[in-house]
Structure 1
Amino acid sequence: MRRWIYVSSPLIVMFIFISFGFKTQEVTVPETLKVKEPTKVLFPKNKTYFTNLVIVPPFLGSSYIGFKEALAFKESQGNYFVTNTLGYLGKYQFGVETLELMGVYNPTIFLNDPVLQERVFYTNVSRNKWILRRDIRRFVGKKIGGIVVTESGMLAAAHLAGAGNVQKYLRSYGSHNVADAYGSTVSKYLKKFSGYDISYVSPKRNPKI
């Protein structure tokens, strides 16, 4: 009897541990932790820089978030805290004059405030969408210079060159194709950023932060 107890006890213990190992538990994500709308800021809390590293933009789909992050990657590789050689600031590379149109008068505060940068970007897209509202109705779906015109392409080009230059490009059917100091043109942005859904942004006349 005692020998049987010595032999069987380790087997019982092993069975108990194994049963715990195969037990599954269902995990439910709390409602408060679910992401249901665009986040204000997408940036690393701890900035780490690597050399000789090929960086690719995150795939975030064709929503407003995908649009703004793709455009930010083109402008600054998504860096909130960078200033380029021409003095353009932040993740979306805003000039001081554009910031003042949005109601922001302190470039230093702007450069160090990611949430403010996201608000300014949305406000500027909203403003450009208002300015271009008639051109959006008139030209979306048409082909100019081999490029199918889309709303997102127009708004990206307006970020690059201003809504007025986008209007001139469209109304001249591609003849007025301005470029920035680095060689990016209205037509390049129309093509590169086509096909995003920008319905999240409402057009607004002269919006301010």
Structure 2
Amino acid sequence: MRKNILLISGIGLLLWWVVSGFETPEKVDLSHYQTGEQDICYYVPNQEEIALTDQENLTYDLLLGKTYLGFKEALGFKESRGDYSVINRFGYLGKYQFGPSTLALIGIHDTAQFLVDSKLQEEAFAANLSRNKWILRRDIARFEGRVINGVRVTESGILAAAHLAGAGNVKKYLRSGGEQAFADAFGTTIGYYLKKFSGYDTSFVVPDRHAKATII
């Protein structure tokens, strides 16, 4: 009798272990994790790299590369560390450090509203880029690929330099072979921007003489 009780208990315990071992795992709701419509490339190390890396110093990097998005974010970081709300001591505004006169050229007259509207700032950047590309279209065609003061000239470098110094000053610099230099109030030069922002893909930016920043 005792053996039968032990046998039944053992079978019950075995059945409980089998059933509990094959329970359906709890479903995790991932619906609140979104990436929007932006394709972004993340670098995540594989198991072999993790094994060879100091765990305390392991980093996961967001790689934008030489894309237009990489160009835009690199320029915004250089200008303001990506801060939409900043005003520098010379009165330049936002993530891309626009002056009021430049904003007026692309249709923005309310600087207070501009400073609190990140979407408008992005529209302003795109409009100013298109406008500068139209102004400098012949110089881009003429000087792209040449080396001036040790720096290979690229379209993205020219457009970044125009954001810094204005299209007119970039024309003077290129057409003088780098002799007519320019530096802003912080000492940043056209040559520095030509080098720092070289080789990004700005090919799809449409030249537009009358580009305006608009929010639809």
Q: When the two structures are superposed, what TM-score results if normalisation uses the length of structure 1?
A: 0.81
Alignment of 1:92-171 (within 5 A): 92-171=96-175
Residue 47 of structure 1 is matched in structure 2 by none
Deviations 1:84-108 (A, max 9, x none): 0100000000000001011001000
My pick for the range that moved more, 57-66 or 80-89, is 57-66
**Alignment-derived partner of residue 37 in structure 2:** 35
Q: CA offset at residue 75 of structure 1?
A: 0.3
The CA distance in 1 between the partners of 2:114 and 2:96, in whole Å, is 11
Structure 1 position 8 matched with structure 2 position 14: no
Counterpart of 1:11 in 2: which secondary structure? helix
Structure 2 gaps, min length 5: 41-60
- Give the equivalent residue in structure 1 for 2:84: 80
Deviation of 1:11 after TM superposition, in Å, equals 2.8
Letter in 1 for 2:93: L
Q: C-alpha root-mean-square deviation of aligned residues, in Å?
A: 2.5
Secondary structure of the 1:177 match is coil
62 and 87 in structure 1: CA distance in 2 versus 1, 3 angstrom threshold: same
The offset of 1:66, in angstroms, is 0.2
- Count of aligned residue pairs for this structure pair: 186
Equivalence for 1:49: none
Structure 1's unaligned 5+ residue stretches are 39-56
Deviation string, structure 1 residues 71-92 (Cα, Å, up to 9, x no partner): 0000000000110010000000
1:206 matched to 2:210? The reply is: yes
Larger radius of gyration: 2
- What is the aligned-residue identity percentage? 53
Match of 2:83, SS?
A: coil
Runs of at least 4 residues off by over 4 Å: none
Structure 1 residue 19 corresponds to structure 2 residue 22:
yes
1:7: how far off? 1.6
CA distance in 2, matches of 1:13, 1:136: 75
**Alpha-carbon deviation of 1:34?**
5.8
* Structure-to-structure mapping, 1:186-201, within 5 angstroms: 186-201=190-205
TM-score where L is the length of structure 2: 0.79
